[in-house]
Structure 1
Amino acid sequence: MTKINIPRLDLLHYTHGTASQRLQFSKDIGSAFNETGFVTIANHGMEKGLIDELYQVVQAFFALPEATKLKYEIPGLAGQRGYTAKGKEKAKDASVPDLKEFWQRGQDGNPIVEELPRFDEVTGEVFRRLETVGRELLNAIAVYLSLPEDYFEPSVIQGNSILRAIHYFPIADPSSLPANAVRAGAHEDINLITLLIGASADGLEVLTREGTWYPVKALGEDIVVNVGDMLQRLTNNKLKSTTHRVVNPPRELMKTSRFSVPFFLHPKANMNLAVLESCIDAEHPKAYADITAGEYLDERLREIGLKM
């Protein structure tokens, strides 16, 4: 199997480290994002108890009756708040939807799940914690790119970030599925960076430069962090938004659920994603037209079937 660079980095080396530790952290995350677009992060400030309760309330929500969940589906928001039912989202250019349903919350405007008093409080706390971690990681990335450390701050504070709780639902009869139906088709994320808090089962794979699929697993409570398309555009492909997917388990496990909670760190809609001048040279001409984060998000939501 191809071995790729997905290092395990200690966030405390950046937030509380010496000058040399901070610089090394920036170099390490930048190098990994340049090569594979993925790292795992330890000591991110999310206690095991909070993570455990997060998965408890998420599983409790998806166990609610279908009619109850549908109360929280909000027309006109392209799935950006509340519940999105099965059969809605697909990977770009895919012919069939992913085998999942999900819930999304943002900075505000989030529906309160009346049946689960702790759901809003726990997902809100996780949102705030991961937003802080994401900002710290973007500071380190800015240093790697020779930008001011706070380069991203004005665009991401109170930005359009999303916490998504995903249920890859059981399939009672796998033989009934279309041949190309998977839990999450091969795709790249839309945003700046994604922070993934574990998962209840294996399945996440990244596409290597050699064209093979490599399984990504975090250790214990570590989180997996990857580059999104917005950061790739901004850096003219210097940082890689790597294609990844969630594969179906062995046939005998298709009747079981998989849960996952990624945090998509989005900037404000008015952030300019025009390629950084420092990332353009004779060998790397400008690869993307100028666009704002809001315009790009709107374009991508249409491509994946969440917006008409």
Structure 2
Amino acid sequence: MDVQVVDYSAADAPEKFVESLRETGFAVLTNHPIQQELVESIYSNWLEFFHSSHKHDFLFDPEKQDGFFPSDVSETAKGHAKKDIKEYYHIYPWGRVPEELNAEIRSYYKQASTLAGELLKWVESNSPENVAGKFSEPLPDMIVDTPNTLLRVLHYPPFTGEEEPGAIRAAAHEDINLLTILPAANEPGLQVKMKDGNWADVPSNFGNLIINTGDMLQEASGGYFPSTSHRVINPVGGSQQNSRMSLPLFLHPRSEVVLSERHTQRSYLLERLKELGVI
């Protein structure tokens, strides 16, 4: 099964959406509530921020994990030796945001989080009874008043020819959280690893909303919903001159939420951040 493109407004959208998550770990929504004009404005305004020296005034806090992460401290995907070719900014409900960017990005955070709650309800409502019975509380409730949901503003810079050999924009990895909500980037490159081991492009027309399953939902569902590997490949040709902007919202439960007999949200997150080398 390929990643399904689902019309959010269709009557059977919840069933098709959850089936695609179950089979591929990904689903794509069209006709969704997130306004493309807002996304475009965020991409433009934050690209200006990343091109300025002002970003260094918000250097990340190693304890809190908010703020600006330069490319030299970027993530190294689990199982890889080379850092991704990217820089990014972490936004939490309690975190720092440049004043001139605050109102717009907070509005997006609120809108996307509201939609995320609805999508988690779709997931739970369309899970087999034995799977839904594993959830320690209703999935939408896990993110109510959570301080942990992370909005990452990502900038993949243009290529200069000085990139480390073998490094790519985002090496193959799985997300840590429940679900990731991702407006299509302004440039292509996102791929998912299918069941047959081949890599496939995720339908990423500008305006699409891409959702994928993370490790925490895989853990909470006893493996029913797979957290599948995905990556962002390097551009070719003229596209090498272009910045790529991306805006994933990583849905995280409250710290004390029980995911399984092995893990709470907090214990799982700490384990993965250590693997990534960011703490």
| TM-score (norm: length of structure 2) | 0.91
1:232–1:241 contact (8 Å) kept in structure 2 = yes
Q: Which residue of 2 aligns with 1:302?
A: 274
Q: Which residue of 2 aligns with 1:137?
A: 119
Structure 1 counterpart of 2:70, from 71, 77, 85: 85
Change (3 A) 1:75 1:51: closer
Q: Deviations over 1:111-163 (max 9, x none)?
A: 2314xx2x111111111111011110000100012449981232101221111
Percent identity, aligned pairs only, is 29
Q: Deviations over 1:260-305 (max 9, x none)?
A: 111111111111111xxxxxxxxxxxxxx52001110111111112
Q: Deviations over 1:208-240 (max 9, x none)?
A: 111111011233412000000100111122111
Change (3 A) 1:302 1:72: same
Q: Which residue of 1 aligns with 2:96?
A: 111
Structure 1 counterpart of 2:215, from 196, 216, 229: 229
Change (3 A) 1:178 1:74: closer
Q: Which residue of 1 aligns with 2:154?
A: 166
Looking at structure 1, the residues matched to 256 and 140 of structure 2 have their Cα atoms a distance apart, in angstroms, of 13
Q: Which residue of 1 aligns with 2:60?
A: 74
Which is higher, the Rg of structure 1 or of structure 2? 1
Residue 54 of structure 1 aligns to a residue whose secondary structure is helix
2:191–2:201 contact (8 Å) kept in structure 1 = yes
| Structure 1 alignment gaps of length 5 or more | 14-20, 275-288
Residue 164 of structure 1 aligns to a residue whose secondary structure is strand
Deviation, 1:252, is 4.8
Looking at structure 2, the residues matched to 85 and 196 of structure 1 have their Cα atoms a distance apart, in angstroms, of 21
Match runs of 1:14-163 below 5 Å? 21=11, 24-65=12-53, 68-77=54-63, 80-88=65-73, 89-108=75-94, 110-114=95-99, 117=100, 119-145=101-127, 146=129, 147=132, 151-159=138-146, 160-163=148-151
Residue 186 of structure 1 aligns to a residue whose secondary structure is strand
Deviation, 1:46, is 1.4
1:204–1:245 contact (8 Å) kept in structure 2 = yes
Residue 236 of structure 1 aligns to a residue whose secondary structure is coil
Looking at structure 1, the residues matched to 189 and 253 of structure 2 have their Cα atoms a distance apart, in angstroms, of 28
2:5–2:203 contact (8 Å) kept in structure 1 = no
Deviation, 1:251, is 5.3
Looking at structure 1, the residues matched to 185 and 14 of structure 2 have their Cα atoms a distance apart, in angstroms, of 26
Change (3 A) 1:127 1:178: same
Q: Which residue of 2 aligns with 1:11?
A: 8
Letter in 1 for 2:183: I
Letter in 1 for 2:118: E
Looking at structure 1, the residues matched to 70 and 171 of structure 2 have their Cα atoms a distance apart, in angstroms, of 17
Deviation, 1:61, is 1.1
Deviation, 1:51, is 1.6
In the alignment of these two chains, the number of paired residues is 272
Structure 1 runs of 4+ aligned residues shifted over 3 Å read: 146-150
Structure 2 counterpart of 1:267, from 229, 234, 253: 253
